[in-house]
Each structure stands twice: as structure tokens, then as C-alpha cells.
Chains A and B, each alone.
Chain A
Amino acid sequence: MSDKKLTFKKRLHILKHHYRGKKMAPAFNALHTFLFAPDETTHSGSHVRAADDLKRTMNTVIMALVPVLLFSMFNAGYQHFSAINGFPQEFSLMNDFLTWDNFWIGIIKVLPLVVVSYGVGLLVEFIFAVIKGHEVEEGYLVTGMLVPLIVPIDTPLWMLAVAVVFGVVIGKEVFGGTGMNILNPALTIRAFLFFAYPTWMSGDKVWVYEAVERAGGPDAISGETILGYLAQNKGAEMSYSVSDMFFGFIPGSVGETSAFLILLGGLFLIFSKIASWRIMLSAVIGSLVMGLIFNGVVDAGWIGETSKFYGLMSFDFWQHLIVGGLAFGIVYMATDPVTGAQTNRGKWFYGFFIGFLSVMIRVFNPAYPEGVFLAILLMNVFAPTIDHYVVRGNVKRRMKRLKNATILPKDSAGKANELHAETV
């Protein structure tokens, strides 16, 4: 048979066997499996397996992020032009928002972030896979999409690249790669950026395209986030309506603004049974509870309008969910199964404290108006402890059962007397 008759599939199959055992095999296999699901069959245990693999799981999360990404590309342009020309008087979705001009800003600003994030991150993953001789695992597929969505739009690309290398190596690979990490890699990257380059991560110049370059000039523009306004007790100067906040026509990190699309993404993830509804629901409850407490403090008159906490404390408790990164964090980051709590009961505690602490950090530390990423990282660290106590509960139940049990002696012991367990 001549080579010409070989199908593409067959050629790849031959190549795969050619590369088997070689140094570059993981790199080849990673690309190969993107094209074709492998021909692997079961060896031990169940002879049939369910349809899902890790790629499908990750892909489902990415699908839930695509609407958010598209929205963010339009919003990049919308915020840019609105900062220059002022917000449109009578907002029309088709004429003011979903325009080619807006989208173009997204293409030149948001897309490069995505490309750099995936390019650098996957490169690091491939290098580690080749060095360590294991397959490229799919963890970065979601991380790579999350990273560009949680940074300010004007983040320099080199800065992002440095942060991604740090996040993937220190946040994940040193622990053993996908599935072994303690901290959410995307948030590790965000935290690195925040603490390494604070001037690029906060203030009123970073959320709108070109605001930094134009600063100080005659055509200077700025865009303050809602949390920024509130932290400075300037809530009254804000021109955003609640519906702006909910649908996301506000400045902020690239993908965090549209609570509406995040909500849809969250519902999709719950429906597809990929993300934990327990974490999402309990995080929402946690943030509402903290918000209510702060509202209560203000209502009780314990805090005056001059207090530096007044702006954020008096903010309606439920509106915390639709501004800043809280919604995005709850839906896409807190639900990371590797770094979150792993037991069903633990997920309730884990989620609740993420919501609770996010709002608390937001209000009490105006230097970190975005508390959610810190809250999630903190709870990532505590998740194993939470699980430990949940699992101990099960162990204790078993111990108690053993204590009440009557252990029969072995027949060879020759005694029919019943012994009480002395092992515990």
C-alpha cells in the first residue's frame, strides 16, 4: 500500500508510535489529543467508561466564559469612547455598544491579553511536561482564559507574561502540576500583578484603554470603578445605574463587569453539573450576610457619613454582588475543584466564607477595593482544613459504631464468649 492512501488519522497514529518514549512525546500527544480523542482502551476495572474526560470538563468552563469574553471586548471600546465623548444620553445596545468601533478596541486590547496568557502559560506547561515526562494536563485551558478577564485592560503584555510564568511555575508546577496545587493559579497570577505592580492594578487610570497614556495631557480621560468611587466616599458622583452595573456597562477588570452574563455562565455550569452549586449559593449567601451586617451598622447610626467606611458600608447589601469581581470570582474561581473544598459539606463553609470575607475586605481595606481574590486565596489555604474536619466527622461516626459493636472472636480462639472492642 502506498503512503498516499494513508488517512490523516493513520499518519498521526504512526507518528504517535514513532514519538513514543521520546523526549518530545508529551508535546506531540498534547496536540494530537486536541484533534483526536485517543484510541486508548480500558485495561483494568470497568470495561466501559463515561463520555467525559478532563478536556471536556475544562472546555465546558471555557464555553461558559466565551459570552463574558465577547462582552468584554465590546465593553473595552465602549468605556474608551465614553470616557472621551461622555456616556450616551439615550443608551441603545445596537448603536452604542455592539458596534464595530467598540469591538475593534477589544480586538487590539483584549485579544492580545488572551493570546499572551495562553501562549506563555501553555509554553510553560509544555516545557514542564517534556522535562518531567508526563502528559500535558488540561488545567491551564481554564486558567489561560480566566487570566485576561481578571486584569485591567491596559496591563502591559510583558507584565502579564511575567505574572503568568510566576503563577504557573510557583502556583502550580512546583506542587506537581494540575490537580496538586493549593492556590488557584489564575488568582496567583492576579495577586502577583497586584503586589508587584500596584500602580498598574488600581487607581482611576487603568480601567479604560489609553487612560494611562493620555494622563496629564489636554485630552486626559479616566474611568473609576464603582468600588473606587465608594471607597473614596464619592458614591454621589457616580453616574451608573443599577442596570448598568447588572448588565456590565461599567469600567472594571476586563471580564468582571457583566453580572448578567456571569449569572448565565454560572447557571450553565450548574446545569451541566461541572461546577458546584453549593459553593456558588453559599458564597452568595455569605456576601449577602456580610452586606446586611454592614447596612445594619449604618442604619444603627454607629457610623457617620464622615467615616471613611461610609461609602462602602452604606452600599445596598445585594449590590455588592453586581459590582467588582465578586460575581466573577464566585462563579469561575471559587468553584475550582482542585483548590476549593472537596467534600460536599465543606463546600458550604468554603463558599460562605468566600462571600463573607470578600465583602469584609472590600469595606475595611480601601487600599484593596477588590477583596474577592484575596478572600478566595485565603479560603484556598483553609479548604484542606475544612475538609479535614468534615472527613473526621465520618471517621468519628465509624469509631462510635465500632465502640458499640460486639466483636466476635475467631473460631480458632475456641471461646464463644463475646468480647467487647478494646481497640478504641
Chain B
Amino acid sequence: MSKDIRIKKGLNINLVGAAEQTTSKAVLSNVYAIRLNDFHGVTPKMLVKQGAEVKAGEPLFYNKNKENMLFVSPVSGELVEIVRGARRRILSLKILADKEQASVSNDLLNVESASKEEVKAYLLKGGCWPFVKQRPYDIIADPDTNPKAIFVSGYVTAPLAADLNYVLQGKEKELQAAITALGKLTPGKVHVSVGKSENSPLAGLSGVELHKVSGPHPAGLVGTQINKIDPINKGEAVWTVTPQDLVIIGELLLTGKFNAERIVALAGSSVKAPKYYKTKIGTEISTFLYSSGVEGDNFRVINGDVLTGSKSAPDGYLGYYNNTVTAIPEGDDYELFGWNKPVFNKISATRALTFSWMQPNKKYDLTTNTNGEHRAFVVTGMYEKVFPLDIFPMQLLKACMVKDLDEMEQLGLYEVAPEDFSLTEFVCVSKQPHQQIIREGLDLLHKEIG
């Protein structure tokens, strides 16, 4: 069964430096790192000591608040460093990889006949649970909740993000195994979306409700699709998994081993030869960044796409959930009369002497410059043009800023994740930090209401 979703509101951000569809094998990294920032709201409790030898798939730590939620090592090697920050908070774990990789072998699970509890326990033990995220709150799913549906978005509209149709090629078996397993975890449906006129490996899956999506960004964001298909109500939860993580879940189910291998798109205008690399979660980004060559030395490396990714040093590590690494020029320079001269080389949602509307298909080379200073909210009606959810974006942002819990709840904070506000943040004339505001609002709501 298939339902079409057409999104009209939105904005495609066309950037130069899309990854060419060829895949190289990245140089093996010496050190792999797990960054705790990737697991929002998780308080880690270590299971192994510094200096211990671990196998790939062996648990490193668990979540203090959900003790059965294990986080495993992507590779086998020695835990060489536990990087701590203020108040001894763990920031990242570094593992020096062995030459010969060894994995933990879990007993195989018969996915077809397994019960819900068996699947859940298997994923938790195998270290694949962190790939399942939940809304509300945009955190790793609470294994005790009963999600009303599970959503997988196979439609990519984010700028320069990895093309899932390409990276998922040949992974149909893993995808199907993962979907079959996840289907047991919800009494509702598993919603899978693909691009309308795209030939996606996800389109042939069975046991799913397939949706064909078309329209500009943020049509590909799972939050947009949830809002159009089955919006979240207070007290409900839905789970989301990204397709590239389905592959890892599927592989665990089929082989019993946690395989952190992933095809990553290296993109952005600061990369000389943007293309795909086969590598592993937690790898040093430099293992493939410099193979493609970089332009100049003043660029920013982003774990993820330019709208939702996190800033990383060039010698940083690939994030747990990222299948895109973007490098774009830093914009830390002044621009003479930048506020009033006609603009041809930047994207804008208006026509205020900005001319991106004349060439909707032109590709732009944007920098990290904010193009203006932080101001109070002034302009109205602009966010609504790029925000297809049935929610008042500015009112919700303001409710979060003044910490009005009732208002946040009523205006639909349960339905959103920070990434849903990445486009409104992009077009914001007042340069307000939308994603941060929403994140803080979600954290507050989670803390107060639970």
C-alpha cells in the first residue's frame, strides 16, 4: 500500500561539492572514538577500564538511567583513553584498533519467529539499540515505551547529504531483516518513505507502509513525514531509525556480529574530489578527508550535513549517526557593505536585492558566515514558508525561550526535533539559534514531565 506525500513549503539549498557516486575504501584508522555528545541525555557508566582490550561489538558502557541499554565498541582494540571534561564528564572514548579485527559473536536469532521481547533483548545486548531514536524529545528510544509507529525516511533532501539510493545498494537483505525485527516492536505500522520518482532499495521491502514523498527540503526529514502521516500526540511515542543504521541492525540479526562499517559521503566545496568512502563508525575523519584533497586551510569540517551536523576538527572522528561529512569554507571575514549591496552568490528566501530566486537550480558555495548579527524576532511569516509542519514555528520557539511548559506542550513540541527547525534557522533574519532553543525546550519538557 502506498500513500503519496507532497510537500510544497520548503527550500532546497543547492550547494557545490556533491559527492560523486564512486566509493573508495578509506585508509584504516589507528584510533576510533565514540563521542558521547552523539547520545543526547545519556549518562554513561563504564563497563571496561582504561587500557582494557575490547572486541568489536563488546559493550563499553551503559546508560545509567536505562541499565540494559548498552553501547558497544565499533572495532576491536585497546581502550586507550577516556577523555573527560568539566566535572569529569566523559566526552569521548578512544580505542586503538588491532591489526586483526575480532568481533563478539552473538547467537543467531530467528527473526521470523522471535517474540517482541526477544527482539528487544537481542538489539539491546548486541549494541544496536542506540540506533533507535524516539520522539518526543529526540533521544535514544526508551525500550520500555510502546511506540505507536516506527518511521524510516529513505528520501534525502538535506543539502549535500549522502544519497541513500546509492549507499544502500545491495543491502536489501539486511534492510528486510531489520524491518521485520522492528515491526515486532510496535503494534502499529512501520512507515518507510522513498522519493517519488526514485529507485530506492527500500521500495521493495515487505511488512511496511510505503510512502512516496516529493517536494523540497525538509520533505526528507522524518519529522515532516511523521507530521503528515501520523502526528504524535501527548503521551504517545514514535521511533525513528535511519536507513544506514537499519543495515547495521540487519547485519547483527543475520550474522550475529556488530559491523560498524558504513559508506560515508564526503562533500562540500572545500573538498577537491568529493565522493563516497567505505569506513567505520568512529574513524578519524582525516583518514579519508585528505585523500580527497582540501582547498586552502580555513575550512570547517562538519559531522553530518550543513544544516544539522556538528562541528568537528579536521582530526576529529566520524559521529555515531552520521553518513555524511561536509567541509565548507569558514566565513570569518568582513564584507564591505555586506548588508545593503546586491547579493548574487548566496541563497536567500527573499528578493531583497538578493537574486537566488532568479536561478533556483544554481549551486552555491556558502561559507559559515552568519550574514548578520543576532537580533530579536522581528520579521513574521518567513518561517511558515519553509516549515511544512502543522505547527506555529515562531510561537513555539518563543514558548521555549520563556520556558512556558503548557504552551510548549500545546503548540506541539512533542512532535518536533531540533532538525525540524534547521531550515527556519537558515532563513532567520534575526539569526536566532532555533535548533538550540528547541533542544533546550525539549530537555526542559523531558525533565519536568518525563
Centre residue among B187, B371, B412 by max chain A CB count within 10 A: B371
Q: Enumerate chain B residues within 8 angstroms of A391, measured Cβ to Cβ.
A: 392, 395, 411
Q: Which of A48, A342, A407 contacts B233 (CB 8 A)?
A: A407
Q: Which of B234, B370, B411 contacts A41 (CB 8 A)?
A: B370
Q: Which of A337, A405, A407, A421 contacts B381 (CB 8 A)?
A: A337
Instruction: Annotate A365-404 by CB proximity to B: 1 below 8 A, 0 otherwise.
Output: 0000000000000000000000100010011011101100
**B391-415, CB < 8 A from A:** 391-392, 394-395, 410-412
The answer on a CB contact under 8 Å between A395 and B410 is yes
The answer on a CB contact under 8 Å between B431 and A49 is yes
A47-B306, A401-B231 are contacts. A38–B334 as well, Cβ < 8 Å?
Answer: yes
Q: Enumerate chain B residues within 8 angstroms of A271, measured Cβ to Cβ.
A: 351
> Which of A90-98, A118-126, A175-183, A292-300 contacts the other chain?
A175-183
> Which of B130-138, B169-177, B197-205, B335-343 contacts the other chain?
B335-343
Q: A120 CA to B313 CA in the complex, in Å?
A: 48
Instruction: Annotate A394-424 by CB proximity to B: 1 below 8 A, 0 otherwise.
Output: 1101110110011111111000000001010
The answer on a CB contact under 8 Å between A402 and B233 is yes
Q: A44 CA to B434 CA in the complex, in Å?
A: 9
Q: Does A272 interact with chain B (Cβ within 8 Å)?
A: yes
The answer on a CB contact under 8 Å between A44 and B433 is yes
The answer on a CB contact under 8 Å between A45 and B433 is yes
Q: Which of B375, B391, B426, B430 contacts A394 (CB 8 A)?
A: B391
Q: A250 CA to B392 CA in the complex, in Å?
A: 44
Closest to B427 in A: A50
A39-B369, A397-B390 are contacts. A13–B334 as well, Cβ < 8 Å?
Answer: yes
**A47-62, CB < 8 A from B:** 47-57, 59-60
Q: Enumerate chain A residues within 8 angstroms of B433, measured Cβ to Cβ.
A: 43-45
A55-B339, A178-B375 are contacts. A37–B334 as well, Cβ < 8 Å?
Answer: yes
Q: Enumerate chain A residues within 8 angstroms of B436, measured Cβ to Cβ.
A: 44-45
Q: Does A40 interact with chain B (Cβ within 8 Å)?
A: yes
Q: Enumerate chain A residues within 8 angstroms of B427, measured Cβ to Cβ.
A: 50, 52
Q: Does A214 interact with chain B (Cβ within 8 Å)?
A: no
Q: A46 CA to B343 CA in the complex, in Å?
A: 20
Q: Does B356 interact with chain A (Cβ within 8 Å)?
A: yes
Q: Enumerate chain B residues within 8 angstroms of A337, measured Cβ to Cβ.
A: 378-381
Q: Does B363 interact with chain A (Cβ within 8 Å)?
A: no
A391-B411, A411-B144 are contacts. A179–B377 as well, Cβ < 8 Å?
Answer: yes
Q: Does B25 interact with chain A (Cβ within 8 Å)?
A: no
Q: A52 CA to B349 CA in the complex, in Å?
A: 8
The answer on a CB contact under 8 Å between A274 and B352 is yes
Question: Interface size (A, Cβ < 8 Å)?
Answer: 71
Write the nearest CB–CB distance from B187 to chain A, whole angstroms: 7
The answer on a CB contact under 8 Å between A272 and B352 is yes
Write the nearest CB–CB distance from B151 to chain A, whole angstroms: 16
The answer on a CB contact under 8 Å between A51 and B347 is yes
Q: Enumerate chain A residues within 8 angstroms of B367, measured Cβ to Cβ.
A: 41, 48
Q: A338 CA to B337 CA in the complex, in Å?
A: 26
Q: A37 CA to B307 CA in the complex, in Å?
A: 22
Q: Does A20 interact with chain B (Cβ within 8 Å)?
A: no
The answer on a CB contact under 8 Å between A56 and B352 is yes
Instruction: Annotate A216-252 by CB proximity to B: 1 below 8 A, 0 otherwise.
Output: 0000000000000000000000000000000000000
> Which of B40-48, B257-265, B278-286, B324-332 contacts the other chain?
B324-332
Q: A347 CA to B380 CA in the complex, in Å?
A: 10
Q: Does A273 interact with chain B (Cβ within 8 Å)?
A: yes
The answer on a CB contact under 8 Å between B390 and A44 is no
Q: A55 CA to B354 CA in the complex, in Å?
A: 13
Q: A355 CA to B368 CA in the complex, in Å?
A: 44
Q: A43 CA to B433 CA in the complex, in Å?
A: 9
A56-B352, A423-B234 are contacts. A46–B375 as well, Cβ < 8 Å?
Answer: no
Write the nearest CB–CB distance from B299 to chain A, whole angstroms: 11
A39-B333, A52-B371, A177-B376 are contacts. A272–B343 as well, Cβ < 8 Å?
Answer: no
**B421-450, CB < 8 A from A:** 421-422, 425-431, 433-436
Write the nearest CB–CB distance from B142 to chain A, whole angstroms: 8
The answer on a CB contact under 8 Å between A35 and B391 is no
The answer on a CB contact under 8 Å between B370 and A49 is yes
Q: A334 CA to B368 CA in the complex, in Å?
A: 35
Centre residue among B233, B384, B427 by max chain A CB count within 10 A: B233
Q: Does A276 interact with chain B (Cβ within 8 Å)?
A: yes
The answer on a CB contact under 8 Å between B233 and A272 is no
Q: A247 CA to B436 CA in the complex, in Å?
A: 50
The answer on a CB contact under 8 Å between A272 and B429 is no
Closest to A41 in B: B368
A13-B334, A60-B353, A394-B411 are contacts. A408–B392 as well, Cβ < 8 Å?
Answer: no
**A155-195, CB < 8 A from B:** 176-180
The answer on a CB contact under 8 Å between B366 and A423 is no
Q: Which of B308, B374, B392, B434 contacts A343 (CB 8 A)?
A: B392
Q: A36 CA to B144 CA in the complex, in Å?
A: 54
Q: Which of B368, B376, B412 contacts A48 (CB 8 A)?
A: B368
Q: Does A210 interact with chain B (Cβ within 8 Å)?
A: no
Q: Does A154 interact with chain B (Cβ within 8 Å)?
A: no
The answer on a CB contact under 8 Å between A50 and B348 is yes
Closest 7 CB pairs of A and B: A53-B372, A37-B338, A179-B376, A45-B435, A51-B346, A36-B334, A55-B339
Sample of 11 further A-B pairs with CB below 8 A, known A38-B373, A46-B426, A59-B352:
A13-B334, A41-B370, A46-B307, A49-B371, A49-B425, A51-B347, A51-B348, A54-B379, A56-B372, A60-B352, A407-B233
Ordered by A's residue number, 6 sampled pairs between the chains whose C-beta atoms are within 8 Å are: A35-B337, A46-B425, A49-B369, A54-B378, A55-B340, A398-B412
Interface residues, chain A, with chain B CB atoms under 8 Å away? 9, 12-13, 33-57, 59-60, 135, 137-139, 176-180, 271-274, 276, 278, 337-338, 340, 342-344, 347, 387, 391, 394-395, 397-399, 401-402, 405-412, 421, 423
